[in-house]
Structure 1
Amino acid sequence: MTKNRVPIPSDLSAEVMFSSDRTCCVCRERGKATQIHHIDEDPSNNKLENLSLLCLECHNDTQLKGGVGRKLNAPLVIKYRDEWMERVSERRKIADERAVSRQVGDVSISQQIETQVSRPHLPVELKDPPMDYINSLPEFKQALLSQAQPKWDTGLTATMVQANYDYIDSLTGVLVTLSNYYSPAQFGEQSAQKYFSEIISSRFQWHRTISEPHGPGTGGTIVNVTVGGSVMSDLEKMVEDMVMALVDYDDSFDWRGWPKRWRGNKI
């Protein structure tokens, strides 16, 4: 008997997408088209524990029936999903900690942000942009690139892709940190982390789309490397744009020198 399909509530759908970083929990290749999969194959069971995010190819692997052909059964999808969501959460935590672990004056950026988050009931009082932190970002970027360079030098696709992802995560942490000096109203009703997750996902999708004009999967595995590189450039520009907007007309800021330092710090 055909089971009735019940639309997934938008807030639940958004939670699944965010928790999985809008990325298939099985192949974990960013930028691929995805859909929410009902693990027990009951489209009316919209409980969170019954939902996972899969790309179209991996979702197809759950539809094979019988024999040894079926590559993804329910227990296996659950294992992939739980491990991936835990990894995404830990990855974001590390990236955020790395991005905010800069000391500014007597109070670190992380302490300032913690104070703002822990007292959400108080009126929002925007702080002046942390100039010491901003001025340290080109050197922070250089350190990230230095860490990534040995992985890029291996020429191994999987290793290079992971280096790209690590760098992108760190830049995302910087964007989230800088967002604390913007009005929360700029990000609508969602957190800055979710806001940037959506933007970055769309950039992955865009660059993957234009990199494979003959269709998904036609560009080979190197597409994962080139797409990641393009997204890295996008995020570098986003950080620069946020910084330049935040400093506004601060005469103490090196308007000419900082952008050159930021753009030029490439290996």
Structure 2
Amino acid sequence: MDTNLKVNLIVGFLSFISPIVVFYLDRFFRYKDLKKNEKIEKEILTFRERDSEQKTDKEFIFSLPNLKLEVYKNCHKNWDTGITLNMIKGNEDLIWFLRFCWLSLARFYPENYFSKKGHNTYIDEYIIERTNYHYSMLEAGDTQKNGTIAKVRLGGAIANDLDKLIVDLVEQILSFDDPRKNNWFEKWNSR
């Protein structure tokens, strides 16, 4: 057989077979992705139903405002000194407490719910992103970035963002018919 004829036969065969193979591969992977997505959705629903119904978990959620109050009292000892380094330390303590609260609440969700990298990585990247954002906002206003007090303001802004994130998470976790839900928000926001 002539080499050109062999090449033409192979090319013709491949051009006939390749759309069929691509069709079935696409069908296979779409079906696989569909099943995977259904499994993830089912896992999310069962995970939340199982964990959010446990009484001890709800009691922990309702204890968070009291814990926050105690942390604020300790942070105020640093803030009230008027020494910048102590004030920054107070902000750091508050930020780490709010990080702990968020991570504790995030366990009501599967590990890859917020990010494929996990809850710890998600919240750490969020804190870094908010730090960069608020620092750029402080740099934008010349009068605010002067002096060491800008770092104190930066910590307060990050803590406010984390606080809002926690409120949003609790709002999703607690059921609508829980009579203590409104009380939780009042106590949490009272500081």
TM-score normalized by structure 2? 0.68
**Is 1:187 equivalent to 2:114 in the alignment?**
yes
Is the contact between residue 176 and residue 192 of structure 1 (CA under 8 Å) also seen in structure 2? Answer: yes
**Gaps spanning 5+ residues in structure 1: where?**
1-122
Q: 1:259 aligns with which of 153, 171, 185?
A: 185
Is the contact between residue 175 and residue 239 of structure 1 (CA under 8 Å) also seen in structure 2? Answer: yes
**Is 1:128 equivalent to 2:54 in the alignment?**
no
- Structure 2 counterpart of 1:170, which letter? F
Aligned counterpart, 2:94:
167
Q: Output one character per residue of 1:40-59: Cα deviation in whole Å (capped at 9) or x when no partner.
A: xxxxxxxxxxxxxxxxxxxx
Aligned counterpart, 1:11:
none
Shift of 1:210: 0.8
- Over 3 Å counting, the alpha-carbon distance change for 1:225 and 1:194 in structure 2 is same
Between the aligned partners of 2:91 and 2:145, the Cα distance in structure 1 is 21
Between the aligned partners of 1:203 and 1:158, the Cα distance in structure 2 is 21
Aligned counterpart, 1:203:
130
- Name the SS for the 2:185 alignment partner: helix
Is the contact between residue 211 and residue 219 of structure 1 (CA under 8 Å) also seen in structure 2? Answer: no
TM-score normalized by structure 1? 0.49
The equivalences for 1:1-267 within 5 A come to 126=47, 127-129=50-52, 130-213=57-140, 218-249=145-176, 251-264=177-190, 266=191
- CA radius of gyration, larger in: 2
Aligned counterpart, 1:66:
none
Shift of 1:180: 0.7
Larger RCO, structures 1/2 (Cα 8 Å, 6+ apart): 2
Paired residues in the alignment total: 141
Q: Output one character per residue of 1:50-80: Cα deviation in whole Å (capped at 9) or x when no partner.
A: xxxxxxxxxxxxxxxxxxxxxxxxxxxxxxx
- Name the SS for the 2:82 alignment partner: coil
Give the 4+ runs in structure 1 shifted more than 3 A. Answer: none
Percent of aligned pairs with the same residue? Answer: 28
Q: Write 1 or 2 for the structure with the bigger share of helix.
A: 2
- Over 3 Å counting, the alpha-carbon distance change for 1:141 and 1:195 in structure 2 is same
Between the aligned partners of 1:202 and 1:261, the Cα distance in structure 2 is 28
Q: Write 1 or 2 for the structure with the bigger share of strand.
A: 1
Aligned counterpart, 2:18:
none
Shift of 1:239: 0.9
Is the contact between residue 98 and residue 163 of structure 2 (CA under 8 Å) also seen in structure 1? Answer: yes
- Over 3 Å counting, the alpha-carbon distance change for 1:239 and 1:218 in structure 2 is closer
Shift of 1:214: 5.5
Shift of 1:142: 0.1
Between the aligned partners of 2:97 and 2:112, the Cα distance in structure 1 is 24
Is the contact between residue 95 and residue 158 of structure 2 (CA under 8 Å) also seen in structure 1? Answer: yes
